[in-house]
Structures are given as C-alpha cells and as structure tokens.
C-alpha cells in the first residue's frame, strides 16, 4: 500500500509507503513494481546507487542529457537529507522551478524524480546513506550539473546560518542555469 503526495513540479511525486511496526521493529516494501505502476510510475529501474555523506555535504544538482536522462527513486537508508528536484523540461508549466523536501530513514518517504529534472541533496543529520534507483545506467558523457546556489533557481537550502556546504570539486565548478540552453 502506497500513498502519494503531489508536488508543485511536473512529474515529481512524494511516495509514502505503509510501514508495519511492532515490538520487534518495523517492515515495509521499499519497492514493488506493480504498486508503483498503480500510482502512475511505470518506470523500469536498471541501476541502484548508494551514497554515504557526512553532515553538511551537498551533492548536486546533477542530471544526464537525453537519450541517457535518468528518472530516479530516492530514499534514505540512514539519517536525514533535504532533497531537491529542478524541472528542466522546456515545455513544462514548472520549467526552471524546484521542489525541496526532507527525506528521512525515520519516515521512509521516497521521492520519484522524472528524467527531465536535475537532482541534489543536502545532509541534515550527522551522516546519511541514500539509495536511489535509476532507469538508465550512468553515462559519463551525458552527465551535467548545475550550481547549487544559482540565484535564478533560488533554492532555499536549509543551511545553518553562515555555513557553506561541503561540495565535490565537480560541483564547485558547475555552471549556472541557462534557460535558453535548456529551451533548445
């Protein structure tokens, strides 16, 4: 049993699984293809990625260009993150807009991000392990990034006052969002 919550971004869906809890702990199905089809996600996932990041790490905003664009199903195995999707589909009513949401191993909520979105997350807890399913394999030549602090996107990351996120060298050099580039 899955419950969904719509987001303001075209195709981005928050998924809330049914968690069964008793005195032993808890259990839930983290993925069941037919149940995801029933809620409108008919994606065939072909690759799982897992990351471990320390508090204050920001990964993203990443995406792959077509024909290797990736839809992703994000969930947190340990800790808490602030997860962000940016709509890069030129004919979408939400083009250039973003959705951010907290995901945690305590709630087991998931975020489905369609292949027309860039994705990134910021680690809130002391550390976080994140698992994301992808519908296309990693293709280095198609990989792209956007600046996490792009003023045009104006993402409201929940950073501590005066803090700077820990970024990879690649993410430090990421270009700014250019609507004209993504409109072609």
From the DSSP assignment, how many helices (H) and strands (E) are in the chain? 3, 13
pTM across the whole model: 0.94
Token pair belonging to 156: 């409201």
User: Rounded to the nearest 5 degrees, what angle is found at the Cα of 165, between the Cα atoms of 143 and 167?
Assistant: 35
Catalytically active residues are: 62, 132
Domains of the chain (ranges; CATH) run 2-183 (2.60.120.10)
What is the DSSP pairing of strand 47-54 with strand 80-87? unpaired
- Tell me the per-residue pLDDT of 7-45, one tens digit each, with 9 for 90 and over: 999 899 999 999 999 999 999 899 999 999 999 999 999
Q: Give the tens place of pLDDT for each residue, 57-109.
A: 999 999 999 999 999 999 999 999 999 999 999 999 999 999 999 999 999 99
- Model pLDDT, residue 1: 74
Residue 29 has a CB neighbour count (10 Å cut-off) of: 12
């Amino acid at each position: 049993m899955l419950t969904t919550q719509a987001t303001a971004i075209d195709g981005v869906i928050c998924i809330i699984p049914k968690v069964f809890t008793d005195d032993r702990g808890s259990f839930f199905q983290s993925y069941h293809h037919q149940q995801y089809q029933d809620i409108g996600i008919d994606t065939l996932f072909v690759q799982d990625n897992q990351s471990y990041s320390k508090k204050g790490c920001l990964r993203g905003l990443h995406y792959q260009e077509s024909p290797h664009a990736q839809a992703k199903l994000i969930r947190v195995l340990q800790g808490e993150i602030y997860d962000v999707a940016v709509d890069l589909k030129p004919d979408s009513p939400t083009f250039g807009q973003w959705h951010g949401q907290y995901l945690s191993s305590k709630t087991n909520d998931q975020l489905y991000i369609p292949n027309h979105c860039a994705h990134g997350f910021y680690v809130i807890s002391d550390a976080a392990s994140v698992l994301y399913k992808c519908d296309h394999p990693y293709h280095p030549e198609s990989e792209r990034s956007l600046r996490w602090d792009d003023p045009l996107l104006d993402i409201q990351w929940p950073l501590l006052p005066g803090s700077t996120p820990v970024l990879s060298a690649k993410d430090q050099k990421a270009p700014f969002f250019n609507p004209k580039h993504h409109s072609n």
